[in-house]
Structure 1
Amino acid sequence: MPITVIDGILTRYEVTGSGPPLLMFSPGGFDSTLEGWRTVGVYRRLGLLDRLTEAYTCVTFDRRESGRSGGRLERISWADYVRQGVGLLDHLGIERAHLMGGCVGCSTVAALAVARPERVLSMVLYSPAGGVKYRMKQHDRFRRHVVYAEEHGLERVVSLARGTDAGFTTDPRVGPWGRLIRTDAEFAEAYARTDPDRYRATVTGMARLLFDRDTVPGPEPEDLLRLDVPALIVPGQDTSHAPSAARYLQECLPDTEYWDVPVAEQTRESAPARVLEFLAAVGKRE
């Protein structure tokens, strides 16, 4: 599978299908890999990627710090995730693309559209992550990692990460860089030597700024209200994908279609068809 360097960080990606380009931001939280479109939660059941490749050139990739992509020890922001997506479009020579996000990928899709609207044809926001309990869950995950790192030291975090396949989402103790520790010896060595106070500031600042609201994190609502990009919003229905998060995006985005269908009624037949219908309609408007 091809790998390119974006912003000094390796990015593993895959291009499948044919037709207009569709850049897809994977579900899976801090373990957002391109395989997530076929293996994670509702996406495994719906078979969205396989259907979309019949009409679109689908570009999937491992988010930085996930899968086989690289990363850096820094306070990661939504702008960093946007930079990866735009860089991948540049690498592939794609001037404008449809964007699709699953779960937390919706936040990056919206942030990219705000930052670079001229590069975006449309947005599909599928089961956006957000809500009060989602924010609390994310902050607790970072808190548990910081507590473990302070009690045991970063060398112990390195040992723990190397002794398990679990990611940050599954085992908060390994932290957001657990996979890199496991696969990059040079990174792991530098990580273990990081000043504890500097590390704490990096991690706590990352949690506070990435998950700063009780709805969909990412761009400011005032920026979404000014965004002239058509969007399809499909709600989720659990503590990480609150229906209120999808309704928030509907309220903020001026040009939206809201597929008001419960998750249980989003099927392998209906869900891909609805996404394809939306994308085709946008194509006719261009």
Structure 2
Amino acid sequence: MPILSVDGGEIYYEQSGEGYPVLLFAPGFLSSRIERWHSNPSRPGMDQDWSDPIPVLTPHFSVVRLDVRNAGRSRAAIGSDYGWSSYTADHLALLQHLDIQRCHVMGGCIGVSFALALEKARPGTVSAQVLQNPIGLSEINRLTVDAEIAHWASGLLGRPDVDQKLLDEAGKRMFATDFIFSVSCDDAARGNVPTLLMPGDDKMHPASVSADIARLTNAEVLAPWKGPDYRDAASLRARDFLLEHTPEQRP
């Protein structure tokens, strides 16, 4: 089982295919883990609104995906400084471990926050990005966001190494800002990364936040893209977009 040791814990990841690397950040809020690309534990047996990108991308790319810290098979300590930078440090460590200097990125839901934070932390890392269903804060969803934080925290409180006070502080700190939480609007505009956006349209994935991302990044917007009538075509467009923006490989 591929495990990366990080400061205070370990990260589970998988890699398949050959070629230019694509790093996938799955949906699922802070419980973002590989399986959430194809299933949702709150809706057992029901298809996701999107197609799993892994089988679509693997014939063309080296596809890297992971369970983020404290989700799925990954574990890490929760200290007084736990926050977005903790996750980004893991993601940079994974790229270094795999000897990846640049890559494409695809993120769903909170994966958009992870993707934009990665490029902010190390500009030039992301060569192109597919941003699907971004989370963010709007005028009407503070209670919805807080409920997701509480649900995430409740799943960790049974661990003997988790201090509830530090856990509560981490949740409040990470989701105290606006936009997509991990970066500011200025950060997103500064990135200048070719972007394909599949916009959100509900309380957790507000249309207003997607509109901001589209404006700030000059993204190609793909809509509609959810559900059985559109998800397969959307997945193929994501593949083609990344192929179009793949740097030429020197021999």
What TM-score, normalized to structure 2?
0.86
- The within-5 A match list for 1:210-221 is 210-221=174-185
Conserved 8 A contact 1:215-1:244? no
Query: Which residue does the alignment assign to 1:127?
Result: 133
* Cα offsets for 1:214-246 (capped at 9, x unmatched): 432211111222212111111122221122221
- Partner of 1:226: helix, strand, or coil? helix
- Alignment partners' CA distance in 1, 2:142 and 2:14: 31
- The aligned counterpart of 2:7 is 7
Query: How many angstroms apart in 2 are the aligned matches of 1:120 and 1:36?
Result: 23
- Larger-Rg structure: 1
The residue aligned with 2:114 is: 108
Aligned residue pairs total 242
Partner amino acid for 1:101? Answer: G
Cα gap change, 1:43 to 1:6, in 2 (>3 Å): farther
1:240 aligns with 2:245: no
Of 101, 125, 139, which aligns to 2:146?
139
Following superposition of structure 1 onto structure 2, how do residues 167-246 of structure 1 map, counting pairs within 5 Å?
168-169=151-152, 174-175=154-155, 177-178=156-157, 181=159, 188=160, 190-191=161-162, 194=163, 199-200=164-165, 202-246=166-210
CA apart distance, 1:95:
1.1
The gaps in structure 1 that reach 5 residues or longer are: 146-167, 182-187
CA distance in 2, matches of 1:14, 1:276: 19
Question: Which of 47, 71, 82 is matched with 1:76 structurally?
Answer: 82
How big is each residue's C-alpha offset from its partner over 1:19-75, in whole Å with a ceiling of 9 and x where there is no partner? 210011111112211111121387575132211112111101110001111111224
Query: Which residue is 1:67 aligned to?
Result: 72
CA distance in 1 between counterparts of 2:35 and 2:190 reads 33
Distance 1:44 1:238 in 2: 13
Deviation at 1:285, TM superposition (A): 7.8
Q: Helix, strand or coil: the match of 1:60?
A: strand
Structure 1 window deviating more from structure 2 (17-26 vs 43-52): it is 43-52
Indicate whether 1:269 and 2:232 are aligned: yes
Q: CA deviation at 1:137?
A: 1.9
Report the Cα offset of residue 109 of structure 1.
0.4
One-letter code of the match for 2:72?
Answer: G
The CA RMSD measured in Å over matched residues stands at 2.4
Alpha-carbon distance, 1:178 to partner: 4.0
Corresponding residue for residue 47 of structure 1 = 52
Q: 2:37: which partner in 1? A: 37
Report runs of 4+ in structure 1 exceeding 6 Å deviation. none
Partners of 1:217 and 1:241 lie apart in 2 by 12
- Over 3 Å counting, the alpha-carbon distance change for 1:43 and 1:80 in structure 2 is farther
Match of residue 151 from structure 1: none
> Match for residue 220 of structure 2?
257
Which letter does structure 1 place at the counterpart of 2:176?
A: D
Overall identity of the aligned pairs, in %:
29
Letter in 1 for 2:31: D
Deviations 1:76-104 (A, max 9, x none): 21111111111100011111111111111
Aligned mates of 1:16, 1:267 — CA distance in 2: 26
- Write the distance in 2 (CA, Å) between the matches of 1:103 and 1:269: 18
Question: In the alignment, is the contact (CA less than 8 A) between 1:135 and 1:213 conserved in 2?
Answer: no
Give the Å deviation of 1:118: 2.1
> Retained in 2: the 8 A contact 1:123–1:229?
yes
